[in-house]
Amino acid sequence: MIKNINQPFTTYKFKTMFKIFDRNGIALLFFGLLSTQAIKAQERVITINEAIKLGVESSKTLKLSQAKIDRAVSQYNQVKDRVLPTGTASYAYNHAEIPAHTLELGPTSFRLPSRADAYIATVALQETIFGGYRYKYAQQSTELLTQVARLDAERDKDQIVYDVINAYYNLYKVLQSQKVVAQNITSINQQLKQAQRFFDQGLVTKNDVLRFQLQESNVELSSIDLESNRKIINYNLNILLGLPENTELKIEEITEPGYNLAALSNYIDTALTTRQELKQFDLQNKVAETNIKLVAAEKLPNLGVGANVYYIDASGNPIPQTGRFIAPITIGATLSWNFASLWTNKNKLAEARILHDETVISKQITIDHLKNEINRNYQNYIMAQNKIKLLQTSIAQAGENNKILESKYQSNIASVTDRVDAQTLLYQAQINLELAKADAGLAYYTLLKSTGKLNK
């Protein structure tokens, strides 16, 4: 028979320590005390703000989001680098063996050496003067995609914060339910002792005692289920917050907030200006417009300038010697135009425009879904508030009914069935009220998340 939900574990610890003392003396008792302190040290009382802070700091998802931002910034910098001048340098050595080194051209003949060496070096510098605005539009496109990556990170952060809040409230609901169960077990124990006294005095039947024992067993089964759920939620929350897995999280009682609920239209208007998804669609729309310009720019010609320096040395000595090498310098400009793009790019341009239209339509669909989401969360919060009011009235009624039937039962006017039913109704109403309070708080945070203001 469980008297207190914390009693079995505590009792077990002390019994174990006394057994250790009996067997191995003071040294092992001291070790047992240290182990007990270590177990207690794993307990931690945490507020919702602390949980959110830990969740954000330890989130691997947010670290991945930051890596995506860094990659987008790197890609943007790579595009910026394309507008810089390009330069190349090369140095080559050639050796030739000439077996047939006599060349006859009619009456004239040339005698060539049997072998020859040559050193050739080249230095070139190229700069694009006009590239049809390709580099300009490529920079704009990658800069916009970098902003999209940052909005992705903000949305991931909102989701992490909400996941922490959701897990926090779920743990709170279990802990509050355990408190109610513990109180009811204590109350049922008192009723069971009283029924046993009445039975000993011949005032009630054995069946009455069995009814209380059955009620106690049912409540204890609820306690076992709650403890199992608590361990699962506690473990998951530890992982989410980056805490040691064996940390026992304790939550201070959450007071039911008195949020002033604004009109539904206010929340929708806020979402239309705040939600990251809509901002992303605006950026993607600009990206699509830039891509249209980029495809169109491929029809334009390119103009570039360049300078080249050549070094040619036909001697076998790698060190330059006066009169043995030449070093011409060339400066030129190149104008090129792939005029085939006038008819080969029309389908690419059509595809770019279709992608732009898809972005506009997708945003409109998202706005419709967003309105439905906000309305659903808004109505859920109102429903949660109404449940709290109704349950508070129900608890008052169930409490009064329980007192009346307790008095009648003690006076042997009411049956044990009526007494147990009254206590069960009060017990269930108390648990439902605690769950409703937590659901109301979570419903409000859910409404804030749907407006994009959870982290604001």
pLDDT for residue 393 is more than 80: yes
pLDDT of residue 113: 77
Most confident of 95-109, 254-268, 344-358: 344-358
What is the Cα 250 distance to its own chain's centre? 24
Q: What is the mean pLDDT of the chain?
A: 80
Closest CA to 256 of 451, 78, 454, 442: 442
pLDDT for residue 378 is more than 90: yes
pLDDT of residue 456: 63
Question: 214-263: per-residue pLDDT in tens?
Answer: 888 888 898 899 899 999 999 999 998 888 988 999 887 676 555 678 89
Radius of gyration of the chain (CA): 41
Q: What is the C-alpha to C-alpha distance for residues 78 and 146, in angstroms, rounded to an integer?
A: 13
Beta strand 43-45 pairing with 248-250: parallel
Taking the complete model, does pTM exceed 0.75, yes or no? no
Helices (H) and strands (E) in the chain, counts: 11, 9
Q: Under CATH, domain 43-94+116-451 is a member of which superfamily?
A: Outer membrane efflux proteins (OEP) (1.20.1600.10)
Q: Is the dihedral of CA 197, 199, 203, 204 positive or negative?
A: positive
pLDDT for residue 372 is more than 90: yes
Question: 48-71: per-residue pLDDT in tens?
Answer: 888 888 888 888 888 888 888 888
pLDDT of residue 1: 34
Q: What is the C-alpha to C-alpha distance for residues 301 and 337, in angstroms, rounded to an integer?
A: 4
Q: Are 295 and 345 spatial neighbours (Cβ–Cβ below 8 Å)?
A: yes
pLDDT for residue 8 is more than 60: no
Q: What is the C-alpha to C-alpha distance for residues 118 and 314, in angstroms, rounded to an integer?
A: 4
pLDDT of residue 115: 78
> 129-138, 141-150, 329-338, 427-436: lowest mean pLDDT where?
129-138
**Residue 133 backbone zone (phi > 0: left; psi -120 to 50: alpha; other: beta):** left
Q: Is the dihedral of CA 144, 149, 154, 155 positive or negative?
A: positive
Q: What is the C-alpha to C-alpha distance for residues 392 and 437, in angstroms, rounded to an integer?
A: 11
pLDDT of residue 214: 87
Q: What is the C-alpha to C-alpha distance for residues 188 and 217, in angstroms, rounded to an integer?
A: 10
Mapped onto helix, strand or coil, the DSSP state of residue 308 is: strand
Residue 16 CB: number of other CB atoms within 10 A? Answer: 13
pLDDT of residue 404: 87
pLDDT for residue 36 is more than 60: no
Q: What is the C-alpha to C-alpha distance for residues 362 and 356, in angstroms, rounded to an integer?
A: 10
Please indicate whether residue 322 or residue 242 has the higher confidence score (pLDDT): 242
pLDDT for residue 76 is more than 50: yes
Please indicate whether residue 137 or residue 190 has the higher confidence score (pLDDT): 190
Q: What is the C-alpha to C-alpha distance for residues 422 and 394, in angstroms, rounded to an integer?
A: 12
| Rounded to 5°, angle at Cα 322 from 320 and 328 | 75
At 374, the pLDDT band (50, 70, 90 cuts) reads very high
* Amino acid letter for position 248: E
| Rounded to 5°, angle at Cα 174 from 169 and 176 | 90
Residue 144, φ and ψ in degrees, nearest 5: -65, -40
Q: Are 17 and 31 spatial neighbours (Cβ–Cβ below 8 Å)?
A: no
Q: Are 281 and 108 spatial neighbours (Cβ–Cβ below 8 Å)?
A: no
Question: 147-197: per-residue pLDDT in tens?
Answer: 888 888 888 888 888 999 989 999 998 988 888 888 888 888 887 887 788
Q: What is the DSSP code (8-state) at residue 254? A: P
Residue 71 CB: number of other CB atoms within 10 A? Answer: 12
The two three-digit tokens of residue 240, written as one number: 């989410």
Question: 192-212: per-residue pLDDT in tens?
Answer: 887 788 788 877 778 878 888
Q: What is the C-alpha to C-alpha distance for residues 172 and 179, in angstroms, rounded to an integer?
A: 11
| Percentage of the chain lying above the pLDDT 70 cut | 88
* Amino acid letter for position 224: I
**What are the boundaries of each domain within the chain?**
43-94+116-451
Q: What is the C-alpha to C-alpha distance for residues 65 and 62, in angstroms, rounded to an integer?
A: 5
Residue 352, φ and ψ in degrees, nearest 5: -60, -40
At 26, the pLDDT band (50, 70, 90 cuts) reads very low
**Mean pLDDT of all residues in 290-303:** 83
The two three-digit tokens of residue 409, written as one number: 């039962």
Q: What is the C-alpha to C-alpha distance for residues 230 and 172, in angstroms, rounded to an integer?
A: 9
Angle between helix 264-274 and 416-451 (nearest 10): 40
At 20, the pLDDT band (50, 70, 90 cuts) reads very low
